[in-house]
Each structure stands twice: as C-alpha cells, then as structure tokens.
Amino acid sequence: MDLFVCAGCGTELSVPVERVALPVEAHYGGGHRWMPPLMEPGTYAVDPDPWARAWLTWEEIGEAGAAALGVHAPVHTVPTGPRDGIVLAPGDTRGTRLLPERSGPSCLGVVAGDAPNLVCAGCGLGVGFREDDCGVWQTVRYGPEAVVRRSLGVPPPAVPVRPLPPIDPEGGWDMRWSAAAGAALARLLAASGGRALKLPGGLPTELFGRSVARLLPAGPPFLTVGLAGPGLPGGDADIVLVPADRRTGAPWRPAGDAVPVPLPGPVWAHLVGPGETSPTPVSGTLPAQVLRDDYPLPEHPGYGFLPDRATLRRTLSRMPEVRRPWLRALYDRI
Ligand SMILES: [Zn+2]
C-alpha cells in the first residue's frame, strides 16, 4: 500500500491506497449527467498518457508529433499536458483545499483549468486537479511532481472480483460496459486482420454483433471468438475475451496461440457467470436451480447496446497497428 504526501511540506494527501491499472473507462464522456468516482475506494492509478492542456489540433501537432505522444491516427485534438498523473477517488484524498475559482470552463461543477485547483492545506502548493462536473468522472488527479509516494510496506488486501451487471440502476446499459466494449472492440478489430468474426452467442453477440456486422465482412470463413480465463481454457477459438489483470491491466494469457482481448475483470466475470439467478432464495420443496416465476423479469434496456464510439476511436488511435492501411481505413469509417 502507498500513501501520497505533499512534495513541498510532507502533509499527508491521501489515505493508504493500492495501485491498480487505470480503468478503461477513464476517458469516457458521460454527456449531461452525473458521474460517480472513477476509482474504486482504496485504489489509485497512474495515467501514462499526456493529459489536458495544452490541447493541439491534429494540424498543429502533425503526425510525428502526435506519434511521439502515443497517438497514431488523426484525432480532433491531442492533449500535451503532463504524463503520469496520479488518479484517486476524491474520498481517498486528505489535506487539500479546493479553489473553485480556478475551475476551467464547466457546466454544473468544476473541471481542470490552467492552474491546479487543489492546493496543499499545509503549504499552499498547487498539487492537482479536482473534477466534479456533469459528464466527467469524479476524480482527483495529483501532479507527479507535486506529491511523493511513500510505500507503507504493507501488502494490499485481497479483493475478490465482483461481477458487474451490464444494466445500471436506472435501467440503461452501464457506461462502464459501454466503454469496456469500445476498448475491446478496438482490439477485436485489430486481431481480426479484417476477416469475418464468429462471436459466441448471447451477451458477447449483443455487445459486439452490430459493430462487427457493420465493420467487418460477413463470413464464412470466420475467425472464431471465445471466452477464456482462469478455469476456462477457451477451446480452439482464434481470439479469446479474457480478464485484464486488476493491477497491471495486462490480459490473462491463454494457452496456445489464441489472441487475447482483455475486458475489465468485473465485466468478464459477469460474461462467464452463471447467468440469471433468482433474487428470492428457493426454499421448501422446489429443487435447486428452479427459478420462481413470481418476480419481475430482469431489466433490459429498450435500445440496443453499442460500444462507446469515443473509447473505440481513442483505443484504436493509440494502437500502433492502426497504421496498417486496412485498419486505418476502418478507423476512418468509425
Ligand atoms: Zn504542502
């Protein structure tokens, strides 16, 4: 576990936190709606990409300049701010003061502006940015030069993977699923080599089927897509949807030469889970696994699922493979 302190005066700026991979939904834009904290309580992530101002247009930065910042296909603007920002849940931070007058242009709350809007309560050093506005995840982002990470020498607690249902409490498709599918679709497209894909039935087809039908040729022949992960070998599929490591984001490695496409652990756990179970414990004489039929059907949105297009484009634009002409042509169509 780690603890962050002010680089100027040593004031503690966080509770003990565990480093995890930056969630794939970190750059999801939620429109005009309230967004929860990005990070799970007790965790932090380091964002390796340049972040925020100054933003340069594709014409201003040019192809070589963008590639140096990890962007390999045209995007509207490229952030050129500092790399390695430390992202935390606001509730895990301590010892800061918010200067709302330093907010950038926002709607109902505060967003990052030119200068840090969070300062150390001990010495006044600008230590980072608090964002809490419609359409952006609630985050605190400390500048890597403004804080010092102290290792506490204590291992983080074991955290079981909890399946994340695809439907949010309001009855719509969960935005974490939309973003996860956008990122995974980018890697599915790259792994396809431009060939047709045969998806597993059920939820994977609901997630990717419409996009794959629109962007890739119809088979046969097909490359087959399967599910693989701990306890699930994946059979002989050419491409397998696997869980990403919670701490590193690296895909679980299947045996053989199937190409792994990572999904966040909670999304993958739901995909391979047992499916619908009764919310009412069955008792008395009903046999195990028999579902009662006197409760409402599970929620299902009245609109089809689509992977988040912005996450799809962002992920593709940051994959060097997008320079291949066939994939670049697909990117330009999205
Ligand atoms: Zn300080």
Q: Say what the pLDDT of residue 303 is.
A: 87
Q: Say what the pLDDT of residue 278 is.
A: 57
Q: At a CB cut-off of 8 Å and minimum separation 6, what does 192 contact?
A: 216, 223, 239
* Spatial contact of 117 and 141, defined as CB atoms under 8 Å apart: no
Within 10 Å of residue 323's Cβ, how many Cβ atoms? 13
Ligand 1 centroid to Cα of residue 52, in Å, is 23
**CA dihedral sign of residues 262, 265, 266, 272:** positive
User: What are phi and psi for residue 283, nearest 5 degrees?
Assistant: -135, 180
Ligand 1 centroid to Cα of residue 46, in Å, is 21
Ligand 1 centroid to Cα of residue 282, in Å, is 57
Domain boundaries, the chain: 2-48+84-151, 175-333
∠59-61-62 over CA atoms, to 5°? 65
∠299-303-307 over CA atoms, to 5°? 100
Ligand 1 centroid to Cα of residue 121, in Å, is 6
Ligand 1 centroid to Cα of residue 141, in Å, is 16
Q: Say what the pLDDT of residue 301 is.
A: 84
Tokens read off for 164: 């994340």
CATH assignment, 2-48+84-151: 2.170.150
Ligand 1 centroid to Cα of residue 13, in Å, is 9
Ligand 1 centroid to Cα of residue 184, in Å, is 40
Ligand 1 centroid to Cα of residue 315, in Å, is 36
pLDDT tens string, the chain, 334 residues long: the values are: 999 999 999 999 999 999 999 999 999 988 888 899 999 999 999 999 998 888 899 999 999 999 999 999 999 999 998 899 999 999 999 999 999 999 888 898 999 888 999 999 999 999 999 999 999 999 999 999 999 999 999 999 998 899 999 998 888 899 999 999 999 999 999 999 999 999 999 999 999 999 999 999 997 889 999 999 998 987 789 999 999 999 999 999 998 899 999 999 999 999 998 766 555 655 566 677 766 666 665 667 888 899 999 999 999 999 999 999 999 999 999 9
